[in-house]
Amino acid sequence: MEILISAGNWPPQPWVEGLSKSDLVDKVHVWPTEQNLEQVQVLLVWKPLPKGVVDKLPNLRFISSMGAGVEHLLGDPQIPLDLPVARIVDDRLKGDMTNFVMMGVVMHQRDMLQVLSNQKMSKWERHHYPKLKVGILGLGQLGSHLGKALVNAGFEVSGYSRSQKQIEGIDAFHGDQLAEFLSDLDVLVNLLPVTEHTVGFLNYNLFSQLKQGCYLINVARGAHLNEADLIKALEEQLLSGALLDVFKEEPLPSNHPFWSHPKITITPHIASVTTPSSAMKLVLENCRRLQSGEPFLHLVDLSRGY
């Protein structure tokens, strides 16, 4: 089987080396290439999907995102809608996301930015820290893993999803229960996928339904956040601060007002980065399934958009 990798700004080499070791794989191509791609059956993509690539693959049978998100594929008219499209779901990705958000929650709970700035002034200042209720938007693969870990760590946890959930220890809301979900949170974590229903979800109207002083952690996508509304909500103290890992434009332009905002902490889309050696196991399992005709794992539902 031949595979084409278009890894965007991620280094393709670990993928090439790992996939080439499998008996299932005859050849791994890396885009851009002048090689003949006629025999390629599997396309692995991280964003953006290059223009014209699909036209060069007459025998393409399966597409996989190299990350959890698929909006870069589903929104692209080049992707034939009848082809199966999968995404990465793996324990490493879940664990890394959980650790990152846990760090953000605890940093906020312990007022760590203040503690670090106190150190610069040799200032010894102790205070009590609050018990927090954390709400997670999106109780999917990442959100539910995070929720369980937060419960185990002693936080009060609630979550909101499209369909109804039952997860031990998590107060679960869905559908038209959004306002109820938002009303008593100390921290709101966004782990929604980008779809036509979730673009701009984090907006002034939503912020004004939160308990005053709630802290926002956005680790899903920049497209979820209305940036001007965030600044306004921070100025009006509807929100006490925000940890942002993802942005509409990445890298975040150096003149962007978020960089210097005293209540915003920025990380460069590192909440959970696909680990090739781990994610490759799923890709190879799906290659095996392509050969055997068994159903693929972690396919995207094109009608839902995630």
C-alpha to C-alpha distance for 11 and 67, rounded to whole angstroms: 14
Which position among 160, 274, 280, 306 is part of the footprint of ligand OXD (CB under 6 A)?
274
Please identify, using beta-carbon distances, which residue of 40 and 198 lies nearer to ligand NDP. Answer: 198
Count of residues engaged in binding ligand OXD, rule: CB under 6 A: 5
- The piece of 185-193, 209-217, 231-239, 287-295 that touches ligand NDP (CB under 6 A) is 185-193
| Cβ distance to ligand OXD smaller for residue 68 or 282 | 68
Size of the site for ligand NDP (CB under 6 A): 30
CB of 89 to ligand OXD, least distance (A): 10
Per the annotation, the verdict on 269 as an active-site residue is yes
Residue number with CB closer to ligand NDP (40 or 63): 63
Q: How far is CA 285 from CA 60, 118, 128, 288, 301, in A?
A: 17, 51, 49, 5, 19
The token pair at 193 is: 């996928």
Considering only CA atoms, which of 251, 250, 194, 252 is closest in space to residue 225? 194
Nearest distance from residue 297's CB to ligand NDP, in Å? 13
Binding residue for ligand NDP, selected from 195, 209, 275, 278, defined by CB under 6 A: 195
190 binds ligand OXD per the rule CB under 6 A: no
Q: Is 68 in the site for ligand NDP (CB under 6 A)?
A: yes
Considering beta carbons, is residue 195 or 203 the nearer one to ligand NDP? 195
| The one catalytic residue among 174, 256, 261, 269 | 269
Find the binding residues for ligand NDP in span 138-177 (CB under 6 A): 138-143, 160-163
Q: Which residues pair with 28 in a beta bridge?
A: 3
- For the chain, give the DSSP string: -EEEEE-TTS-SHHHHHHHHTSTT-SEEEESS--S--TTEEEEEE-SSPPTTTGGG-TT--EEEESSS--HHHHT-TTS-TTS-EE----HHHHHHHHHHHHHHHHHHHTTHHHHHHHHHTT----------EEEEE--SHHHHHHHHHHHHTT-EEEEEESS----TTEEEEEGGGHHHHHTT-SEEEE-PPP-TTTTT-BSHHHHTTSPTTEEEEE-S-GGGB-HHHHHHHHHTTSEEEEEE---SSSSPPTT-GGGG-TTEEE--S-SS---HHHHHHHHHHHHHHHHHTPPPSSB--TTTT-
Site residues for ligand OXD, 41-70, by CB under 6 A, read 67-69
269 binds ligand NDP (CB under 6 A): yes
271 binds ligand NDP (CB under 6 A): yes
User: Looking at the DSSP assignment, which residues form a beta bridge with residue 266?
Assistant: 244
Tell me whether residue 45 or residue 105 sits nearer to ligand OXD (CB atom): 45
Residue 85 binding ligand OXD, by CB under 6 A = no
Which positions from 7 through 66 interact with ligand NDP, judged by CB under 6 A?
none
Taking CB under 6 A as the criterion, the residue among 44, 245, 265, 282 binding ligand NDP is: 245
Decide: is 221 part of the binding site for ligand NDP (CB under 6 A): yes
In sequence order, what are the residues at sequence separation of 6 or more whose Cβ sits closer than 8 angstroms to the Cβ of residue 124?
Answer: 118
Residue 201 C-beta: closest distance to ligand OXD, Å: 17
Q: Which residues are catalytically annotated?
A: 221, 269
Binding region for ligand OXD (CB under 6 A)? 67-69, 273-274
Contacts with ligand NDP, residue ranges (CB under 6 A): 67-69, 93, 97, 138-143, 160-163, 191-193, 195, 197-198, 219-221, 245-246, 269, 271-272, 306
